[in-house]
Amino acid sequence: MRILELLAPAKNLECGIAAINHGADAVYIGASRFGARAAAGNSVDEIRQLCEYAHLFAAKVYVTVNTIIYENELDDTFALIDELADSGVDALLVQDMALIDKLSKSRLAIHASTQTDNRSAAKVAWLKSIGCERAVLARELSICEIATIHSSVPDMELEVFVHGALCVSYSGVCYASQHCFNRSANRGECAQFCRLKFDLIDSEGKVIEHRRHLLSLKDMCLIDKMEALAGAGASSFKIEGRLKDVDYVKNVVSAYSQRLNKIVSKNPDKYCRASLGSVDYSFEPNLNKTFNRGFTKYFLNGRQPDIVSFDTPKAMGEYVGKVKEIRGNSFNVAGTASFANGDGLCFINGDHELEGFRVNKVDGNRLYPFIMPVHIKPGTGLYRNNDEAFEKLLAHQTAVRKIPVKMIYSATINGFSLDITLSDKFFSVETWLAASQHSTVQIDKQLAQKPQRENIIRQLTKLGNTLYTCDDVIIKDDADKYFIPSSVIAELRRNAIEKFHIKSIKSKDDTLTNIRNVDFWQPEYKSYQYTYNISNHLSREFYQRHGLEEISEAFETGGAANMSDVLIMQCRHCLRYSLGYCVKRGGMQPTWQEPLYLQLPDGRRFRLQFNCSECQMNVYAEK
């Protein structure tokens, strides 16, 4: 039986609770410091509250401590880890190897963040050898590559991204933001260099593309590939979005949780959910109505042409139709979508720019904008990036999560008894231990003058505002032939429910192997030693113990200072391919003279190297 986990982002406590309520098995959240989203920090007390709530459903809370740590921050980081351990956190996501020794002595599981550049079986095996229980795999991996990693390291938990924004560079190997803006992606301060406009020019100055978002990718959506991912060995399905609001969390988590339940129901002997509870939803989730740049499956099925969003890095939303006819300050729309006052619409104009506007009034399919867009014309495709009706729906309570239980009501020598056990069809009893409760009441039994069965069931299933819902009542020993006051049944039920709790019996895996060679992951690691991201003496000592002979400082602490040719990005995204010039894959023969350069409007340029043996595009900053 494989345990499958839906992992949701939480910007704050509100988002974390919403994620649990809408079906998440686990939540990842940032603490006050040292998380890879510096703008999404939370106090230890807020994290403690989230843990207490999540654990009611046997759900877990993971905290991101996945930045590189500077020397003067080590003591504060260790103090934070101690506080998080005391607060009930289940695991930490880490990047800096300085934390490994500290965490190996704690009860906290170690999850190797995607910032540790987990793209090969060799890297994942090494992470397992140093005590990591889980590896968050690079977003760029194909289903075949994931399967290879799983078969090579079968006892390692593999976490895969399934939804949300994509980084164009392998995570942990992106130094563009630090190089250009002194804001480190490895410190949670990414300035989104990849969402900027660039010119693409060749070595002779020929402009191939002008002012396009050439590194901007669509958003990932793998909801239709979750079963295939599970079959390849993935155990945790991660939704990106730790800066997103609560409406995003509600909608996306609901969609993926419902899909995961279908997979488990289809394969009951193969898979189970990692937490408990069934969710009643009061809305129909729709991924197209939540922030997105258009969707792609990225490289899951190999290299595909649909991964880029050259025109805009902003959210376009769902396609709603085309402009049919313009009249004065209004126009009508050809399509089947319905609209509401306040809707946000947008379109791509003739200059490849995104224009947006608000709808002031709706009259059937005729729309009256607050301000009529200048560049709109008949035939323009429209997208809705803010659905007013959907937003109003999400503003209310949209889900209730309950834990299904089974009750067994019996007659005893001196009275009656009630046993309560779990009856969740999506979880494995081998994974979770329910402290089944046995409650008794002593009372003289008298044969009833009228049937008692319906009243017994009615009273036992009155679970009100508790976390539980009863989906089965079994009456044994002809217990319903005896009269029992409703108040006594209620007391029997209350006593059992109050004592009922769920406890995980999964223990931390301390199995280690002896893999010492660390100089094997990517060729660039040998040439650009700063890619190990070593920023303190403990990390340096760790790598020395594990066989790294040449050690350089991190990029952020001067590791590239004396280099004339600085690698600032490694991308599986390839502009040759995206523009139709990958000869290897049937594209046109390029007419330009390489090397090619990306150039910002301020004149700064970056050299592209097409490493075809790795099917990779490297970006270099020249000094």
Tally of CA atoms within 13 A in the half-sphere of 563 that contains its CB: 19
Q: How many CB atoms lie within 10 A of CB 127?
A: 23
> Crossing angle for the helix pair 44-55 and 74-86, nearest 10 degrees?
30
Q: Which CATH architecture has domain 2-282?
A: Alpha-Beta Barrel (3.20)
Q: Tokens at residue 159, please?
A: 């976490």
String of b and e for 449-464 (b: at least 16 CB within 10 Å)?
eeebeebbbebbbebe
Smallest CA-to-CA distance from 208 within 573, 591, 586, 585 is with 591
Burial of 268 (0-12, 13-18, 19+ CB in 10 A): exposed
Please report the pLDDT score of residue 508 as a whole number: 54
Q: What does DSSP assign to residue 337? A: -
Q: What does DSSP assign to residue 449? A: S
* CA 295/CA 287 separation, integer angstroms: 10
Place of tokens 């410091």: 33
Please report the pLDDT score of residue 215 as a whole number: 97
Smallest CA-to-CA distance from 26 within 199, 236, 320 is with 236
> Crossing angle for the helix pair 453-460 and 486-499, nearest 10 degrees?
40
* CA 42/CA 47 separation, integer angstroms: 7
Burial of 537 (0-12, 13-18, 19+ CB in 10 A): exposed
Distances (CA, A) of 408 to 261, 412, 422, 460, 478: 27, 12, 11, 10, 12
Q: Kindly compute the dihedral angle of the four CA atoms of residues 137, 107, 12, 49, in this order, to the nearest 10 degrees.
A: 150
Q: Is the dihedral of CA 139, 145, 151, 152 positive or negative?
A: negative
Please report the pLDDT score of residue 79 as a whole number: 94
Please report the pLDDT score of residue 486 as a whole number: 95
User: pLDDT digits over 423-469, tens only?
Assistant: 876 665 444 555 578 899 999 999 999 999 999 999 999 998 899 99
Residues in a beta bridge with 612: none
**At 227, which amino acid appears?**
E
Residue 55 zone, left/alpha/beta (φ > 0; ψ -120 to 50; rest): alpha
Please report the beta strands in 297-430, taking only residues with DSSP state E, as ranges in sequence order. Answer: 318-327, 330-334, 344-348, 354-363, 366-369, 381-386, 399-411, 415-422
* pTM higher than 0.85: yes
Which residues in the chain land under pLDDT 50? Answer: 429-431, 505, 507
User: pLDDT digits over 161-209, tens only?
Assistant: 999 999 999 999 999 999 999 999 999 899 999 999 999 999 999 999 9
Tally of CA atoms within 13 A in the half-sphere of 68 that contains its CB: 30
Smallest CA-to-CA distance from 251 within 309, 164, 121, 324 is with 164
Q: What does DSSP assign to residue 185? A: G
String of b and e for 392-429 (b: at least 16 CB within 10 Å)?
ebbeeebbebbbbbbbbbbbeeebbbbbbbbbbebbee
The matching CATH number, chosen from 3.40.50.2000, 1.10.10.10, 1.20.1440.120, 2.40.10.170, for 316-394 is: 2.40.10.170
Please report the pLDDT score of residue 469 as a whole number: 93
Residues 529 and 550 sit within 8 Å (Cβ to Cβ): yes
Please report the pLDDT score of residue 505 as a whole number: 46
Long-range contacts made by residues 369-375, C-beta under 8 angstroms, separation at least 24? Answer: 369/329, 369/330, 369/345, 372/329, 372/330, 373/347, 375/349, 375/350, 375/351
Distances (CA, A) of 550 to 97, 194, 534, 541, 547: 16, 31, 12, 12, 9
Where are the chain's structural domains? 2-282, 316-394, 404-425+437-499
Q: How many CB atoms lie within 10 A of CB 226?
A: 20
Place of tokens 């809408």: 22
> Crossing angle for the helix pair 246-266 and 13-21, nearest 10 degrees?
30
Sequence-separated (6 or more) residues with CB below 8 Å from residue 86: none
